[in-house]
Amino acid sequence: MQKSKTREAKTAKTDKVKSRRKFLKAGAAVAAGGAAAVAMPNIATAAPTVLKVQAAWGGGIFLEDAKHYVDRVNAMAGKDLRIDLLSVNSVVKTSQMQDAVHRGVLDGAHYVPAYWYSKSPAASLFGTGPCFGWSAQEMLGWIHYGGGMDLFNELMGTLGLNLVSFFNSPMPAQPLGWFKEKITSSAQMKGMKYRTVGLAADVMNEMGLSVVQLPGGEIQPAMKSGLIDAAEFNNPTSDKDFGMQDVSKHYHLASFHQSQECFEVTFNKKKFDSLSKEHQNILRYASEAENANFYWYSTLRYADDLISLKKDYGVNVHRTPDSVMSDQLKAWDVVVDRISEKDPFFAKVVKSQKAYAKKVMDYLLLNQPDYGLAYKHYFG
């Protein structure tokens, strides 16, 4: 009996030891699990902000330019912010893009100010206005440092538009365009049906042309069918892509009808204000970076395609006569005075532009050597 009790006591003691060991192992496992949870917390990562931005371009070098801006934003923003670039007419027509951004149907748009010229003639002054002796580079200088941005924002407020815009990409002066014969005087163009946009339409009308405003993709078919007699779009690369060399062999470079233009990247203001300051600055400074890239990238492309138009397609390239460009300046005077009398804000913008151009161009024109003289010295 005594032996039986002794065995029971030993068995109970053994069970207690085993039970304590299990408890300690379980505690150690819990502690290890807790330490792992502290070391590797299960934190949910926020989804990136995606901005839907529609471009006014279905292809060609301008769509490439829009992609360059988007690539810069996406590269700097990392995983937290991304722009999805949509090509022309993906959500709305080009003429409806600004309203779509204002309403929040689109987060942004990539286009030119002349495309919403119907809202206010002053819109064209931010991209296709009169030449006061300056180029697109100086016009962008006025926008960024000469009071132009304040005036633009004032215009947005007057029109009740919920937008924030950035301007970039100083375009070289646009060619006078494509004609069925060589142009030697303004009189020769009177009565021609001619394609252009923005305030340039008013200027060419003043010179006696009958202006038809068409989107880029419709220019070549319209000239081929005889709907128009002459046309311009923007540059040798885009013109070549449109196939203008197939409907005309006379291409005139140099003109004051659109001698300074740039892109406008616009965003819905409520959406923009909801972004962090860091992301707002990325959208802003990516525009400034693209300002330089556009000029470097595009001028070489334009030059190569101009060579191709002459060499591969037999296009006769002419420089527009000074007499025609002088008549354009006179037409600009008439148009600007006429609109200024009716639109005080338009007159206010013109006054600001003239003051900036007079100051800056006085320095630049005195300081710049005659680059044409140097070019002729080396290349004839």
8-state DSSP, 243 = T
For the cut 80, the answer to whether the pLDDT of residue 8 exceeds it is no
For the cut 80, the answer to whether the pLDDT of residue 291 exceeds it is yes
For the cut 90, the answer to whether the pLDDT of residue 14 exceeds it is no
Q: 31-45, 113-127, 180-194, 363-377: which has the minimum mean pLDDT? A: 31-45
8-state DSSP, 215 = -
Q: What is the pTM of this model?
A: 0.85
pLDDT digit string (tens) for 94-138?
Answer: 999 999 999 999 999 999 998 898 899 999 999 889 999 999 999
8-state DSSP, 229 = S
235 CB neighbour count, 10 Å cutoff: 24
Separation of CA 60 from chain center: 14
Element (H, E) at 32: helix 2-39
The arithmetic mean of pLDDT across residues 134-163, rounded, is: 97
The arithmetic mean of pLDDT across residues 131-154, rounded, is: 97
Q: Domain ranges in the chain?
A: 49-175+256-379
The pLDDT, as a whole number, for residue 39 is 47
R_g of the chain computed on alpha carbons: 32
Percent of the chain's residues with pLDDT above 90: 83
Q: State the number of CA atoms in the 13 A half-sphere of 53 facing the CB.
A: 31
Task: Say if CB 81 and CB 52 are below 8 A apart.
Answer: no
For the cut 70, the answer to whether the pLDDT of residue 271 exceeds it is yes
pLDDT digit string (tens) for 25-66?
Answer: 444 443 444 444 444 455 556 688 999 999 999 999 999 999
We find that the CATH architecture of domain 49-175+256-379 is 3-Layer(aba) Sandwich (3.40)
Going by pLDDT thresholds of 50, 70 and 90, the confidence category of residue 22 is very low
Q: In what order do the strands lie in the sheet with 177-179?
A: 210-212, 193-195, 230-231, 177-179, 250-253, 316-319
Task: Say if CB 33 and CB 90 are below 8 A apart.
Answer: no
The pLDDT, as a whole number, for residue 208 is 97
Q: Which two tokens stand for residue 71?
A: 């690539």
Strand partners, 211: 194
